[in-house]
Amino acid sequence: MTDDTPAAEGFDEDPSASSEPDGGAVVVEPDEHVHVDPYERNWMRIAAFTMVVFAIAVTVAGLALGIQVPTDEGRVDPNTLASTPPWSEPGLREIVPGEEYDLYIVARRFAFQPMEVEIPQGATVNFYATSADVQHGIKLGLAGAEGRQASNINIMVIPGQVSKLTSTFDDVGVYDYICHEYCGLAHHQMAGVLRVVPAEGGE
């Protein structure tokens, strides 16, 4: 250690920092500012800036882009799904004809129930999903697949938990949904299809 290190400098410049009459006790004046290395100060600025950017990104994603994460809608015993309504009969329920539907999806190795869903254009669908065995996932709409629609719907399907996500389908088209959590040897076979068809009689 040399004599001209910043710590030594600061110590020498401030006679009140060490007072000998007190037997060597260090007295820190209230107005003494902490020495921060320029490199460290820059990293603190970068960290603060990054947090502000993240906060803005989360706010824009949640409020302006409508990106949402599935909510924890409740608990259910994965071992008794087959005898627990509505999970005993998964599928589409019409809430408001042509406008709003509840869709109950059960994932189990290695299939979804139901595997085919058809809704009218403009319908709002409340997805409820749970698993009968291990952790699965639902990715609806695969970007880049020819003749298929893409979406940002992505649901974790967890045994014991009901995940809920609501989305409105304004465009006619076909959406594939696949399991996106590796769940075993035939994981790649877990897929279903959601068709959005023109509303009856038009509007």
For residue 186, the minimal CB distance to Cu ion (Å) is 8
For residue 203, the minimal CB distance to Cu ion (Å) is 38
For residue 107, the minimal CB distance to Cu ion (Å) is 8
Alpha carbon of residue 44 to chain centroid: 27
Residue spans of beta strands (DSSP E) within the chain: 71-75, 91-96, 100-108, 111-113, 116-120, 123-131, 136-140, 153-157, 161-169, 173-178, 191-197
| Choice between 93 and 187, CB closer to Cu ion | 187
| Choice between 41 and 188, CB closer to Cu ion | 188
| Choice between 1 and 185, CB closer to Cu ion | 185
Residue carrying the six token digits 């869709």: 103
For residue 181, the minimal CB distance to Cu ion (Å) is 5
| Choice between 35 and 188, CB closer to Cu ion | 188
| Choice between 10 and 184, CB closer to Cu ion | 184
Distance CA(102)–CA(127), nearest Å, equals: 6
For residue 193, the minimal CB distance to Cu ion (Å) is 16
Positions that interact with Cu ion (CB under 5 A): 179, 183, 187, 190
Choose among 160, 149, 154, 153: nearest CA to 121: 149
Distance CA(51)–CA(45), nearest Å, equals: 10
Choose among 141, 92, 83, 90: nearest CA to 111: 90
Contact partners, residue 160, CB within 8 Å, separation at least 6: 75, 76, 77, 78, 130
| Choice between 80 and 189, CB closer to Cu ion | 189
For residue 50, the minimal CB distance to Cu ion (Å) is 34
